[in-house]
Amino acid sequence: MATVNKEESSGTPIEEKIEDEGSPIEERAEDAATPIEVVEESSPEAPKEEVVQEPKPEIEEKKSPYVVGIDLGTSTSSIAVFDATPGIRVKDAAKVLSIEGSKFMPSVVHVMPEGGEILVGEQAKDMMLIDPENTVASIKREMGDPSYCKEFEGIENKKFSPADISAEILKKLVQEATSNGQFDFQGPVIDAVICVPANFEDNKKRMTEQAGQLAGLNILETLHEPIAAAIAYGAANDADQKIMVYDLGGGTFDVSILEVRTKAQGDATDGDKWKARFRVLASEGIPKLGGDDFDKRMMQLVQDRFCQKTGLDLDLFDLGKDQCGGVNKRTLRHAEKKLKQACERAKEELTQLAETEIRIVDFMKDGKGDIHGLEEKIRREEFEDAIRDLIASSEAAVHKALDSAKLKIDDIDRIILVGGSTRVPLVKQMIEEMFGKPTYTDPDPDTAVARGAAIWGDWLSQPKGPGVGIELINQVTHHLGIALHGGKFHILIEKGRELSEEAPEAAVEQEFVTSRDNMTSMKIEVFQSSDQVEYVSDEPCTYVANILLDGIPPAAKGKERVKVSFAVDRQNRLRVHATCLSDGAVTKSLDNIKIV
């Protein structure tokens, strides 16, 4: 019989050990996770007829058999489902679901000051000009930040985390997509695949999963956005190619190189005719690069001209400082939101036009009470000059990915552009000049990620048979390690290790010794980095979590040994264990990373 202390009982390896041994502790572990009604069944005071477990099967029967694929974007979000109706070809089976008449929804949340009603999507975006203090946009950029909290006037005694706000976006997406009769889900939607940038760190992925759980969803997987886009491409094309997915959205940039082999001519119900293999060769990215940054550059351009004309010292990028004759922060925030929306529209117009005009009649009121309008013409060339360095930084990431994959430009058979920001003509122009060949633009680049996620979600949910389905070989996206004495970054798992169905986990163990006399506890700090760095303080190394291992027997420096184990799964989720190896000592194994 296994004996497990309180901390150990929550760890994954302990659970596996219990199942193997079939000890009575297994039953107690299950009881702790079961609903309250099961506990009542064992109570002599509860009538047996009241403890019937029929509600559970009933819920299971009503649950939708379909899995939704969700692109939880910085600027907009979209949702899709895989329609396995006989006769529908795979390329047409991933259906984008309409949200209030649109194929995507603004990722914006607003709370009404009176009553606390939560608005999401277009309604919330409309409130950005009226009540910007109670409106949040681009929350994806705050994912993983434990210090971020937002308080709304209409809801007292609650601070909203990025997960809380993202959960409201997910709730609205699912509710709208499933309530307008556009697809028969045959029950409430529970299962989902949510996409995340390939360069998302572990804590950002976990916060995304938390948002899904808060929205009432069962997250089957957090799938990398470039992989989802590659799956959507593979569903529409017979391919035996090396492809590069260039994914530039509203707030993040990813580039992934994949080896793709697909046969896409079968229908959605005939897996023998549709087989696909996706092998990730390299992934790189820039966490904060996208349409939001393009908007800011245009805003800066227009703001500078406004200041030259009016003589005002306006700086909408630093609302905290005194400016424009003592204008209050609320007025400045309103002006900032007006200018941002106008620049968003102008950016979209410049994808088709050589010139556009920004006009805001009541742009802002200065400290004297005078109202100033704003009227500026912007040429495409001016806008492109303002963002050229941003796009050049994405080129650097492309070269880095090619180097990681040990490939040359000529080795890439097809460049796939996805994400709304790839509509900016300069993006396509610079990539085509770099590769010397035309790019492939997805028929609907805004929804490619959601469609690929829906296909992958359907595959995850279906029984697997011979000759059927998708094979995905992913990679570890970051170097993973710990901080040693002096702040040195010690890598345990290297970036680029392959993760497949046959080898779904990259794992490593290493022993360390105490660094001083009578050390009875050890704080193990976990870090990750997209590049190899010497110290944890170096860019782009980021802190993930820490494990405090106590119970180490007091001894001379270097005498006591601690084993640290890292394991990464196919979703690039990290598990860390730390165990004191001293004979007869109180030994702990900690398994759950606390994101702090």
Domain ranges within the chain, ordered by starting residue: 8-62, 476-580
Predicted TM-score (pTM) above 0.85: no
What CA dihedral angle connects 247, 248, 252 and 254, to 10 degrees? 30
Percent of the chain at pLDDT above 90? 66
- pLDDT, one tens digit per residue, over 195-225 is 999 989 888 999 999 999 999 999 999 999 9
The 3-state DSSP class for residue 565 equals strand
C-alpha to C-alpha distance for 310 and 365, rounded to whole angstroms: 12
- Mean per-residue pLDDT of the chain: 85
**Lowest-pLDDT choice from 31-45, 194-208, 273-287, 527-541:** 31-45
What CA dihedral angle connects 54, 56, 59 and 60, to 10 degrees? -110
Mean pLDDT, residues 333-341 taken together:
94
**Lowest-pLDDT choice from 59-68, 234-243, 344-353:** 59-68
Q: Is the pLDDT of residue 592 over 90?
A: no
Residue of 459, 444, 461 whose CA lies nearest to 78: 444
For the beta carbon of residue 5, count every other beta carbon within 10 angstroms.
Answer: 12
Can you say how many angstroms the Cα of residue 569 is from the centroid of all Cα atoms in its chain? Answer: 16
For the beta carbon of residue 269, count every other beta carbon within 10 angstroms.
Answer: 14
Q: Cis bond leading into 540, ω under 30°?
A: yes
- pLDDT, one tens digit per residue, over 153-173 is 989 889 999 999 999 999 999
Owner of token pair 């690039």: 572
Degrees, nearest 5: CA angle 88-174-286? 90
Beta strands 479-483 and 489-493 are antiparallel
**HEC-encoded secondary structure of 51-95:** HCCCHHHHHHHHCCCCCEEEECCCCEEEEEEECCCCCCEHHHHEE
What is the chain's Cα-based Rg?
27
Encoding tokens for residue 95? 């259906």
Q: Is the pLDDT of residue 491 over 70?
A: yes
Written out in words, the top-level CATH class of the domain with range 476-580 is mainly beta
